Structure 1
Amino acid sequence: MTKLPDIDAEYLKETLAHLLSIPSPSGYTDIAARWVTEELDRLGIETELTRRGAIRARIAGRASQPARGIIAHIDTLGAIVREVKENGRLALAPIGHWSSRFAEGARATIFSDAGSFRGTILPLKASGHVYADDIDTQPVSWKQVELRVDMPIYSREDAERAQLGIGDIVAIDPQPEFFDNGFIVSRHLDDKAGAAALLAAIKALKEADAEPPVDTIFLFSISEEVGVGASSLLTHDIASMVAVDNGAVAPGQGSKETGVTIAMGDMTGPFDFHLTRKLIGLCEEHDIRHQRDHFEHYRSDNASAVEGGADVRTALITFGLDASHGYERTHIDAPFSVARLIAAYALSSVTIKRDAEELGGLEGFPDQPTKAARGSKGRRAD
């Protein structure tokens, strides 16, 4: 059994805290992309950026094929100004899919042509002293909230003089808290905890001078929350891709805030049979706490890659996240376990060598089990 390099838990937490401090809603990710690239350079990893700032980082293996991809995203949820209202407040549309219920009361930064401003997202009826019980019965909708800017702005003309306008990006304060018992509470843990786990695994592999059996390409996408993160990010040599993202913790779900959760499928369908079970086998081999889950209302960078035409095997490993796309919580054990599994996967031997070629015959093509399990044989009804 290959010994795994040690994951630096303190580095993982410090990296997560720094990533959370950088505002990066989809469409406003340049600063985060710059920081991640500089951190990869510091770790001694060769990097390249796409035009819009998605990142590729490669650790060369003993062979170049079939290359592996491991991806996390550094963009987050946010909002965009859709109207400057007569009262000078800003109507918003969401960036990504999240409820205005979680936006109400949020502190935020607005990035305009004149610079940044601070403000609060409020329901249209925000004061019980004025609206009485109406504050509890108004609908939950993005059309029912507005952004109050902390400036003397009381009309549309005031807002326009301040150079606030349609299209300005709004970043929501993460408000992170790291507890001594291991719990982490913050907005935007999706997917900055995944990106931190990916960086921690890269650091461990580099410091151990570990050489993967094949080239491993670490990817950081910048538009997963709007559905197109990996659509043009993969290189043609990547034969399999493991996405790192959140796993929704809720009644009826298998995800937990500890260990790593292996997703068996999501709203796009089942993940690759062989790659998924390889990851489960690596958890068992290296004593990594794990569980399985299926996500009915969920998609990841895998979906955009396949929809973009990539012929890759896909799998999804997650850190359990309570109240995803809201005020989120996980435990450090979850991204730590994810980082260990990333390292284990990067160092594992290639199971399906035929994947080195884009096309081929049946030789080397894998099988799926069809033999009946012991004790499960039945009689066919005539």
Structure 2
Amino acid sequence: MKEIRIDREYILDMLFKLLNIPSPSGYTDQIVHFVGHELERLQVPFELTRIGAMRGTIKGKVHSPDRAVVAHLDTLGAMVRAIKDNTRLGISPIGSWSPRFAEGARVTIFTDTRSYRGTILPLKASGHAYGDEIDTQPVSWENLEIRIDAICDSKQEVCNLGINVGDFVAIDPMPEWSPSGYINSRHLDNKAGVAALLAAIKAIGETGVELPVDCHPLFTIHEEIGYGASSILFKDISSMVVIDNSIIAPGQNSSERGVTIGMKDSVGPFDYHLTRKLIKICKEHDIVHHRDTFKYYRCDAASAVEAGNDIRTALVCFELDASHGYERTHIESIEAVAKLITLYMQSPVGIHRDAQPLGSLEGFPRQVEKPFRKEGNLVQMPEEET
């Protein structure tokens, strides 16, 4: 495996372009076109499902057992649920996020034909009008509304603007780059992951290194609502590495710089062999890394397995503070993820049996077994790679 330089300027350029394309789950056509054009520029052929999930192909020396690396394009957002007599809009969330992070957000409302700007506000927004009640009203989506930046004095006039129940609402990212390397923004989950995957693809392509087996970069569009990678996988893919965010919080084992390897999320453990292969690569190439488990978390791996795909899955995370809020990561973490992915793409196949969906016991790997005694000596079974 060859260590390949990751283009930091490319990561930053891609990340800020991605952040400025609205893409709440269900409203992702624009970002699919953007990423598609970038894959064309990088000379990576790809195909789309009917609704826009993307599957690229980077040819390797052999066709199978294929690998995939996936990142999701969709983000959190909201939808208009009511048009009120006071000309404000009631909203409901798209994806799972707290209304406390919605208060004060600038937004874009997408109608059937055009868009309008607005602000999400609590029902009691002015201390001069409500006094201490602004601090005691419950934090809930029912207590939020959008103030529209358009001249309208009645519910009918709002309707005349073309605004309807069911219109999508995109939340402004407000990205900011710090000279210290920190990046603050909404929607770093998972546009930082997309930037890392594109940077890895670019690095592999520019170096011209030949991969040992076909690798498929995947871009899903419904991860935030639970079924991202359920429809883009095909039987030729035997293993899939998910790129997503880790969690910086008390009780977690992640750090705000480096890479976190997810061992388990709310759905269950990730594949034993694939996970330990990634950890081994980190150790051999001095990539700062941590292992962590996530209690309130699921990713594209869950939707893939729940859809019936018989594949090995693993989770590689860039570090993220305040996930699903106003998030922060560090450029070194995104670079580290991209570096790990380039090395994984180049890594040799360890379990050749995975090329066949069904087979005999021959070639099936072993995990570390309970030590047993044989002729007085303590014997422990070795680990294998995938």
Q: TM-score, normalised by structure 1?
A: 0.96
Distance 1:153 1:308 in 2: 46
Give the count of matched residue pairs. 374
Maintained 8 Å contact 1:62/1:214: yes
Distance 1:56 1:50 in 2: 8
- 1:303-322 equivalences under 5 Å are 303-322=302-321
Shift of 1:155: 2.1
Q: Name the residue aligned to 1:331.
A: 330
Where 1:258 maps in the other structure, the secondary structure is coil
1:114 & 1:130 partners in 2: Cα distance? 36
1:89–1:154: 8 Å Cα contact kept in structure 2?
no
**1:7-37 deviations in whole A, cap 9, x for unaligned?**
1111011100100010100011000000000
**Map 1:234-313 → 2, pairs under 5 A:** 234-313=233-312
Which residue of the partner structure matches residue 383 of structure 2? Answer: none
Please give the alpha-carbon distance, in whole angstroms, between the structure 1 residues aligned to 2:144 and 2:70. 34
Structure 1 position 183, deviation (Å): 0.2
Q: Identity, % of aligned pairs?
A: 59
Per-residue deviation at 1:372? 3.9
AA paired with 1:248? I
- Structure 1 gap segments, 5+ residues each: 375-382
Which residue of structure 1 lines up, in the alignment, with residue 118 of structure 2?
Answer: 119
Contact 2:241–2:316 (8 Å) recurs in 1: yes
- Structure 2 distance, partners of 1:317, 1:253, is 15
Shift of 1:371: 3.6
C-alpha deviation, 1:153, in angstroms: 2.1
Q: What secondary structure does 1:297 align onto?
A: coil
Matches within 5 A, 1:1-382: 2-372=1-371
**3-state SS of 1:37 partner:** helix
Q: Distance in 2 between matches of 1:53 and 1:3?
A: 33
C-alpha separation in 2, matches of 1:47 and 1:160: 41
Partner of 1:378: none
Amino acid at match of 2:116: F
Give the deviation of 1:154 after TM superposition: 3.0
Secondary structure, counterpart of 2:325 in structure 1: coil
Is the contact between residue 2 and residue 346 of structure 2 (CA under 8 Å) also seen in structure 1?
no
Q: Where does structure 2 lack aligned partners over 5 or more consecutive residues? A: 373-377, 379-386
Q: 1:275, 1:153 → 2: CA distance?
A: 57
Partner of 2:381: none
Cα shift readout 1:79-122 (whole Å, capped 9, x = no counterpart): 00011111111100100000110000000000002301000000
SS state at 2:152 partner? coil
Aligned counterparts of 1:39 and 1:123: Cα–Cα separation in 2 = 39
1:255 Cα deviation (Å)?
1.4
CA distance in structure 2 between the partners assigned to 1:358 and 1:169 by the alignment:
41
C-alpha distance in 2, partners of 1:350/1:153?
63
**Shift of the alpha carbon at 1:73?**
0.4
